[in-house]
C-alpha cells in the first residue's frame, strides 16, 4: 500500500463556521444604548452616519431607547426623517431596563457582518471606527477600546475599579480586561456566540471575555460627556459589580467555607484547652469576655456568610423565573424583526 490516507472530516467537533471575507467593505450594525440622551443623539447620529457612509458597504444604526423620560422619542422621529439617516432603526423599550439589557436588545436585531457598540454621550468617538475596522480586517474578531488612563475619574472610583477587576479575575480561565468598556467591534461569529448564551444576568464585560475569539485592544482616551451626566452613580456601579462577581466567580462561596474552617479549628482547640483546665483546676467562672467577643464574632461571620450565599441564591431565582430581558413597546426602521419581547 502506498500514499497517505485521504484526510478525514473530523468527527470530534463541528467545523467552525466560515468567517466572512474581510477584504471588501463590510456591512455594519451600530448599537447605541440611550437613556435620556436627546441632546447627545442629535449630535452623535449625523456624525456616526457620515463615518459609516464612508467605511461600510451597508450600515444600520440601532438606537435602543432604554425607557427615556426626556424628548428622545421626538428627536429620534425627526432624525429618522432625514434622508442621510435612512439606516436609522429605533427600538424603544417599555421602561428603563438598564444598559446591559439595552445592548442585548440591539444585538438581537443587528444584521451586519460586524457589530459596533458605542455610547450615545459622545464619549466614544465615531471617528475611531475606521481603526476598529482596520483591526478587524487584519483578523481580529473582537476589537475593544481600552482607556489610556482613568485620570478623568475620582480616586475612589479608580480604587473601586481596580479592586473589582482583581476580585473578578481571581483564578478565572479567562480574564476580563480592566479599562475596557462597551466601546467595541464584534465579528458576526462573536455576536452569534453571545446571543447563544442563555443567562439572564447579562454582565456584558464578562460575557465578551467568556466567548473568547481573537481579541485586540485599541487604546483611546474617552472624551468628556457631551451633555447631561453619567447614569452610573456609585450605588448603581456597586450593584453592577456585584452582578458581575456573582455571575462570573464562585470564589466568595469558597472563601466562606475556608473562613469557617479557619475559625472552627482554633475554636475546637480552645474548647479542648478550656475543658482540660476545668478538669484540672475545677470550676472557673472567668472568661466572660471570651464568650461575648466570640459570640459577636461568630454571629457576624454567620450573617455575612448567609448574605453571600443569599446573593447567589438571588441570581438563581432571577435565572429560574426566566422573564424576558426587556420588552419593546415601539420600534421603527427598515428590516427590524417583529419580535416585541426577547430574552
Ligand atoms: N444607558 C442606558 N440605560 C441605562 C443607563 C445608561 O442605555 O440605564 C446608556 C447611556 O444612555 C449611555 C451609555 O449607556 O449611552 C453609558 O452611560 P453613561 O454615559 O451614563 O455611563 P458612563 O459613561 O458614565 O460609564
Ligand atoms: Mg458616558
What was the ipTM of the complex prediction?
0.94
Tell the residue number behind the cell numbers 451633555, with chain if given: 227
H or E segment to which residue 331 belongs: strand 326-332
307 Cα–ligand 1 center, Å? 29
Tell the residue number behind the cell numbers 466568595, with chain if given: 252
* Atom number in ligand 1 closest to CA 123: 23
Say yes or no: CB of residue 66 within 6 Å of ligand 1.
yes
Quickly state the pLDDT bin for 10 (edges 50, 70, 90).
very low
Q: How far apart are CA 70 and CA 1, in angstroms?
A: 78
13-17, 71-75, 309-313, range with the lowest pLDDT: 13-17
25 Cα–ligand 2 center, Å? 29
* Portion of the chain with pLDDT greater than 90, in percent: 37
Return residues with CB closer than 5 A to ligand 2 (ion). Answer: 119, 121, 123
Strand order, beta sheet including 341-342: 215-220, 142-147, 180-187, 114-117, 27-34, 58-65, 88-93, 326-332, 341-342
Most confident of 142-156, 183-197, 322-336: 183-197
| pLDDT of 33 above 60 | yes
| pLDDT of 11 above 50 | no
* Atom number in ligand 1 closest to CA 103: 7
152 Cα–ligand 2 center, Å? 12
Could you tell me if 245 and 167 are in contact, meaning their C-beta atoms sit under 8 angstroms apart? yes
Predicted structure pTM score = 0.77
Amino acid at each position: 500500500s502506498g500514499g497517505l490516507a485521504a484526510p478525514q472530516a473530523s468527527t470530534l467537533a463541528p467545523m467552525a463556521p466560515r468567517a466572512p471575507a474581510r477584504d471588501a467593505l463590510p456591512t455594519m450594525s451600530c448599537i447605541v444604548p440611550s437613556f435620556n440622551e436627546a441632546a447627545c443623539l442629535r449630535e452623535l447620529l449625523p456624525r456616526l452616519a457620515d463615518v459609516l457612509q464612508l467605511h461600510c458597504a451597508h450600515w444600520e444604526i440601532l438606537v435602543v431607547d432604554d425607557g427615556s423620560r426626556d424628548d428622545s422619542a421626538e428627536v429620534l422621529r425627526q432624525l429618522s426623517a432625514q434622508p442621510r439617516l435612512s439606516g436609522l432603526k429605533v427600538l424603544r423599550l417599555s421602561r428603563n431596563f438598564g444598559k446591559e439589557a439595552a445592548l442585548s436588545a440591539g444585538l438581537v436585531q443587528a444584521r451586519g457582518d460586524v457589530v459596533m457598540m458605542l455610547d450615545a454621550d459622545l464619549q466614544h468617538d465615531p471617528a475611531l471606527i475606521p481603526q476598529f475596522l482596520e483591526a478587524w480586517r487584519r483578523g481580529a474578531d473582537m476589537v475593544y477600546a481600552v482607556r489610556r488612563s482613568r485620570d478623568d475619574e475620582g480616586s475612589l472610583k479608580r480604587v473601586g475599579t481596580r479592586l473589582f477587576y482583581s476580585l473578578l479575575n481571581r483564578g478565572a480561565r479567562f480574564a476580563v480586561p480592566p479599562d475596557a468598556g462597551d466601546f467595541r467591534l464584534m465579528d458576526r461569529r462573536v455576536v452569534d456566540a453571545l446571543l447563544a448564551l442563555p443567562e439572564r444576568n447579562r454582565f456584558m464585560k464578562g460575557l465578551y471575555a467568556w466567548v473568547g475569539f481573537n481579541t485586540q485592544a485599541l487604546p483611546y482616551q474617552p472624551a468628556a460627556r457631551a451633555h447631561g451626566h453619567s447614569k452610573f452613580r456609585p450605588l448603581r456601579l456597586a450593584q453592577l459589580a456585584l452582578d458581575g462577581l456573582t455571575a462570573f466567580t464562585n470564589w466568595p462561596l469558597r472563601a466562606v467555607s475556608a473562613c469557617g474552617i479557619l475559625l472552627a479549628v482554633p475554636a475546637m482547640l480552645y474548647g479542648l484547652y478550656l475543658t482540660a483546665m476545668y478538669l484540672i483546676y475545677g470550676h472557673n467562672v472567668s472568661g466572660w469576655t471570651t464568650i461575648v467577643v466570640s459570640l459577636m464574632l461568630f454571629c457576624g461571620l454567620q450573617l455575612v456568610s448567609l448574605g453571600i450565599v443569599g446573593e447567589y441564591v438571588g441570581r438563581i431565582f432571577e435565572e429560574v423565573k426566566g422573564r424576558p430581558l426587556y420588552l419593546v413597546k415601539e420600534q421603527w426602521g427598515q428590516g427590524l424583526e417583529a419580535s416585541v419581547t426577547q430574552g
